[in-house]
Structure 1
Amino acid sequence: MSQHIVVIGGVALGPKAACRFKRLEPGSTVTMIDQSSLISYGGCGIPYYVSGDVSDAKELCTTSFHMVRSPEFFKEIKGVDVQILTKATRIDRENKEVHVENVTTGETASISYDKLVIATGAAPRKLGLPGEDMQGVSYVCNPDDATRIREGISKGEVGNAVIIGAGFIGLEMAEAFADMWGVETSVVEITDQIMPRLVSPALATMGQKHMEENGVNFYFGETVQAIEGEDGRVTRVVTNKRTLDADAVIIAAGVVPCSDIAKDAGLNVHERGGVIVDEFMRTNDPDIYAGGDCALVKHLITDQPAYLPLGSMANRQGRIIGTNLAGGASTFDGVVGSFVVKLFETSMAGTGMSLEAAEAAGFDAISVLLIQLDRAHFYPTKELMTLEMIVEKDSRRVLGVQGFGSAGDAMVGRINAVAALLKGKPTIDDISNMELAYSPPFAAAMDILNTLANLADNALLGINRGVGPDGFKELWDNREERACHFLDCRELADAEAFIERNPEHWHNVPQGEIYKRLEEIPQDKPVVLICNTGARSYEAQIMLDEKGYKDVVNVHGGMAAIKKFGVDL
């Protein structure tokens, strides 16, 4: 028997669910409504249109074969009826109707349904600031925003830009302004790092330093108090510490799920917003499904509700909903929280939990940081990659991996490999012995993921006791008070310049000469071991342990991490 499916929302999940269902039940009817005139666009591509990487805003609204995803496209190609500029105002569950209003004319109507899909997405988090509605102040929501922002830049109207928020969108927009257009760009962030809670302070600082090298200014621990201007147009941003000139302001303070219509209909909604669904993407009403940016899902590491507004997840959930509308039983198990963001010539990616997030969730965990070449050391295009692994101490369970590396596919490929395993609760041993495709142009014989797990194993065993670059900075900044003996385990040619700059604190004994020169290494001071990446200094730590040294620390990531972190030696 044919059905009438109504879908509220036409951006990501809605179209996917509608089209999947129509393929399975071509004789049924689907009506998709959206309050905007723009539907089925790639919102995640907006920063790349602003930057110029995407030449035409229409490309954000086209298929891979260059057809515009308009209402006519959905009707003629997909068999889905679309009503744009139509706002859903109320869901009448008893009579199975959606009440709607034409946003242009104000005309009202109702649409009956057999099954309903709520795909209302999310809205930008508004800060309630004075001046937030001025000309030149934008959110990054849809292609219209992108066109307006880029037109202002291309007309020469923007010399200074201020980004509020250092999350995904904030960083991508900062790159767009600074890289393509040479705009003086500042990022104001209320916390003390970029991508808070998603990556460690060490990785965040590496990404921050790289962006600063490319002309982006950061102001951490600051709260925006007002947006000011003249004649209705923004000219400056006032924080609790300074005033920044601004011809354009981007508010990128996150998003909130649009779940009020579900709540008003008596559906289960989290107290902070977000429709609650089961593994079949059903609400507490068996005839109503929800997903995408308006819904919560289960986090597979904590088993708690999680909010992850990503277009990729919305599309996967849309297919599941479309299948189940047609009588299927597809399930969405949950998420582990995978991400990647491009930062000029580098990228930052992760899956699972950072150490901060893991500890906040109640895990007794540690983290280890590794810098290693992404392919064979003799291959000419090799590059250093930085990975950090978070591990639960007692169970040895891997809780997450985050990384900072080139903007190519090598680093995100490693992150994706771990992401595929996390739902199965892998241990260090699973990653240590993980099989990965090998050839010198693509990987080392002992891949960086294998080595990272081995480092975590050695750390838990207590035979590789160390700190990351942030820990090294703390030791270095307090070197007089702590009287540390900084021992460079590289050859003299590598260490000599640092000895000349810091003759009282920087010392050199190559790792291969340690047993012959023990008299140069004090036993009554903390010894901090440094090499290029932390490998030789680990060997040196074992050698000193064997000779009875009690206070020896290895710098994980070595000089490579110290330089990326920006420590002034």
Structure 2
Amino acid sequence: MSQHVVVIGGVALGPKAACRFKRIEPGSKVTMLDMSDLISYGGCGIPYYVSGDVPDAEALRTTAFHMVRDEKFFEDIKGVDVMTRTKATQVDRENKRVHYENVATGETGVLDYDKLVIATGATPRKLNMPGEDLKGVHYVSNPHDAECIRASISQGQVGKAVIIGAGFIGLEMAEAFADMWGVETTVVEIFDQIMPRLVSPTLARMGMEHMQEKGVEFHLGETVKSIEGDGKVQRVVTDKRTLEADCVIISVGVIPNDFVAREAGLQCHERGGIIVDEMLRTSDPDIYSGGDCAIIKNLITGQPLFLPLGSMANRQGRIIGNNLAGGESSFDGAVGSFVVKLFETSLAGTGLSLEAAEGAGYDAFSVMLTQLDRAHFYPTKELMTLELVVERGTRKVLGVQGFGSSGDAMVGRINAVASILKFKPTIDDISNLELAYAPPFAAAMDILNTVANMADNVLREMNRGVGPAEFEKMWAARESGDFCFIDCREQPDAQPYMERNPGHWQNIPQGEIYKRLDEVPENKTCVLVCNTGARSYEAQIMLTHKGHKNVINIHGGMASLKKYGIEL
């Protein structure tokens, strides 16, 4: 029996659900409403349009076969009726009706429905401070924003840009301004690191160091107090400084648009967002929801999760389309996977960072490894850093994050873990994870296998070490006489550091440890360093065997120290 499905929201999940349902039930009617005049666009591509990587804003709205996804496209190709610039003002659940208003004309009307989909997305979070409405202050939420920003830059109106927020969009926009257009770009972040809670402070600093090398300036741990200007933005005032600005991007997160659902009496989370079950039904079985306005389950913690991602919205849209037609497809939740491009590098992750794991009550630790992403003899090899988060006792892997090149190598490793994380793998599973191997693509012992082995060695108390942040503290205290820094590489590699740091930097190649034990002081903490932490780990084993107790291995070695920005 044919039915009428009404879809509120036409960006990602809405169109996917509408089209999937129409393929299963071509005889049924679908009406899709959206407040904007633009629908079905790739919002995640906006920073790349601003940067110039995507040459035309219309490309964000086209299919792979170059058709623009506008009202005519959906009506002629997909059989979906579309009402743009139309706001759903009320959902009457008792009579199964949606009241709407045309935001351009003020015309009102009513749509009867058999099933309803709420795909209202999310709205950029506002700072609610003076100057937020000045010309030149932007949010990045739709193609109109992108066109306005790019036009002002290309017309020479922007020499200095300030970006408020160092999350995904903030960092992507910083790259867009600085890389393609040469705009003097500053990022202000209220937390003391970029990508807070998503990656560790160490990985965050590695990413920030690279962006600073490319000309982006950062001010962390600062609060924006006001945005000032005479009709047009001229400066941003924080609690520590005043920054000149011709353009300001506010990127401090998004808020789920749950108003119409909440007013209809549907169950919503206390912090915002529509609560759905595994079939993506709301508390009303005839109303479905998903995407950026919905709350799902975190498959690691079991707690509610707000995860505004276009990829997830599209997957959920297919599930809703199936279920509108009487199917029983399910979406059990997510582990939270991401990647963000930072010039020639990227930060990526899945699951919980160490901070997030500890915040969720886990007795967790992490290990960090820097290793080549392919065979050491292959000419295009590059260093990659992975941090594995593990629960003590159970040995369960809670997450993995990484910093590496902007190619596919690192995100491929992250995705490998993401695909099995909901099955609660242990470090033993990752240690023996089967991965495709050939020298141009990976090492025979892949970095994923190795970082899991490293976690096992830490639990066995064989590898006792710290990362760059702790090394920096020890190096700062070198004059105290409490530490002995031993470079376990060969003499040519260590010599420059010995010359720059006489009396503090010592060289004993790992293969000579047993022969030169008398040079290793027993009354100091011995800090062992090599290129990546592998040879210094072997040296630690040797020294421990000979009775040395205060021996620390620097995880990631010199490679991590350099990425972290430590100058010896």
Both proteins in one fold, TM over 0.5: yes
Give the secondary structure class of the aligned counterpart of 2:326: coil
> Matched residues in 1 for 2:5 and 2:264: separation?
18
Q: Which residue of 1 aligns with 2:26?
A: 26
Question: What displacement does 1:260 show?
Answer: 1.1
Tell me the amino acid that sits aligned with residue 139 of structure 1: Y
Q: Which residue of 2 aligns with 1:182?
A: 182
Question: How do 1:30-429 and structure 2 match up within 5 A?
Answer: 30-230=30-230, 232-429=231-428
> Matched residues in 1 for 2:148 and 2:560: separation?
40
Contact 1:475–1:482 under 8 Å retained in 2: no
Question: What displacement does 1:483 show?
Answer: 1.6
Contact 1:5–1:114 under 8 Å retained in 2: yes
> Matched residues in 2 for 1:263 and 1:481: separation?
61
Q: Deviations over 1:3-44 (max 9, x none)?
A: 000000000000000000000000000000001100000000
Q: Does 1:558 align with 2:557?
A: yes
Give the secondary structure class of the aligned counterpart of 1:443: coil
Q: Deviations over 1:341-394 (max 9, x none)?
A: 000000110000000000000000110000000000000000001000000010
Give the secondary structure class of the aligned counterpart of 2:32: strand
Q: Percent identity?
A: 73
> Matched residues in 2 for 1:128 and 1:406: separation?
37
Question: What displacement does 1:225 show?
Answer: 0.4
Please, what is the CA RMSD of the aligned residues? Answer: 0.6
More moved, 502-511 vs 527-536: 502-511
Question: How do 1:505-516 and structure 2 match up within 5 A?
Answer: 505-516=504-515
Tell me the amino acid that sits aligned with residue 355 of structure 1: L
Contact 1:354–1:400 under 8 Å retained in 2: yes
Q: Deviations over 1:160-209 (max 9, x none)?
A: 00000000000000000000000000000000000000000110000000
> Matched residues in 1 for 2:475 and 2:46: separation?
42
Give the secondary structure class of the aligned counterpart of 1:141: coil
Tell me the amino acid that sits aligned with residue 370 of structure 2: I
Give the secondary structure class of the aligned counterpart of 1:441: coil
> Matched residues in 2 for 1:205 and 1:504: separation?
29
Contact 1:171–1:343 under 8 Å retained in 2: yes
Q: Deviations over 1:52-81 (max 9, x none)?
A: 000000000111111000000000000000
Tell me the amino acid that sits aligned with residue 341 of structure 1: V
> Matched residues in 2 for 1:478 and 1:143: separation?
52
Tell me the amino acid that sits aligned with residue 20 of structure 1: R
Contact 1:74–1:81 under 8 Å retained in 2: yes
Runs of 4+ that moved beyond 4 A: none
Contact 1:377–1:444 under 8 Å retained in 2: yes
Q: Which residue of 1 aligns with 2:532?
A: 533
Q: Which residue of 1 aligns with 2:13?
A: 13
Question: What displacement does 1:568 show?
Answer: 2.2
Q: Which residue of 2 aligns with 1:478?
A: 477
Q: Deviations over 1:208-230 (max 9, x none)?
A: 00000000000000000000012
Tell me the amino acid that sits aligned with residue 547 of structure 1: K
> Matched residues in 2 for 1:552 and 1:98: separation?
69
Q: Which residue of 1 aligns with 2:544?
A: 545
> Matched residues in 1 for 2:470 and 2:442: separation?
29
Question: How do 1:430-445 and structure 2 match up within 5 A?
Answer: 430-445=429-444
> Matched residues in 2 for 1:84 and 1:477: separation?
61
Tell me the amino acid that sits aligned with residue 115 of structure 2: K
Contact 1:115–1:287 under 8 Å retained in 2: yes
Give the secondary structure class of the aligned counterpart of 1:390: strand
> Matched residues in 2 for 1:63 and 1:363: separation?
44
Give the secondary structure class of the aligned counterpart of 2:377: coil
> Matched residues in 2 for 1:111 and 1:471: separation?
62
Question: What displacement does 1:482 show?
Answer: 6.0
> Matched residues in 1 for 2:503 and 2:359: separation?
41
Question: What displacement does 1:474 show?
Answer: 1.3
> Matched residues in 2 for 1:31 and 1:108: separation?
16
Tell me the amino acid that sits aligned with residue 555 of structure 1: I
The TM-score with structure 2 as length reference comes to 1.00
> Matched residues in 1 for 2:82 and 2:505: separation?
70
> Matched residues in 2 for 1:459 and 1:257: separation?
41
Q: Deviations over 1:80-136 (max 9, x none)?
A: 000001000010000000010010111111111000000000000000010000000
Contact 1:13–1:318 under 8 Å retained in 2: yes
Question: What displacement does 1:49 show?
Answer: 0.2
Tell me the amino acid that sits aligned with residue 145 of structure 1: D
Tell me the amino acid that sits aligned with residue 313 of structure 1: M
Contact 1:228–1:235 under 8 Å retained in 2: yes
Question: What displacement does 1:481 show?
Answer: 3.2
